[in-house]
Amino acid sequence: MKISDFLSSTDVTADFAAFDKQQVIQELARKVGVTVDVLPDRIFAELMKREEFGSTGMGGGVAIPHARFHQINKPFGLLVRLRKPIDFDAVDGKPVDIVFLLLLPNRQDSQGLAALACVARKLREPAITAALRSAPDGEELYHALVAN
Backbone angles phi, psi at 76, to 5 degrees: -135, 130
Residue 148 lies in a domain: no
Task: Check residue 63 and give its pLDDT.
Answer: 98
Predicted confidence band of residue 148 (pLDDT cuts 50, 70, 90): low
- pLDDT tens-place string over residues 129-140: 999 999 999 999
95-104, pLDDT tens digit by residue? 999 999 999 9
> What CATH number does the domain containing 106 carry?
3.40.930.10
The count of other CB atoms within 10 Å of the CB of residue 133 is 13
- What value does the mean pLDDT of the chain take? 93
Segments forming the whole domain that contains residue 87: 3-143
Total number of domains constituting the chain: 1
Choosing from 6, 18, 46, 66, the catalytic residue is 66
Q: Is 66 a catalytic residue?
A: yes
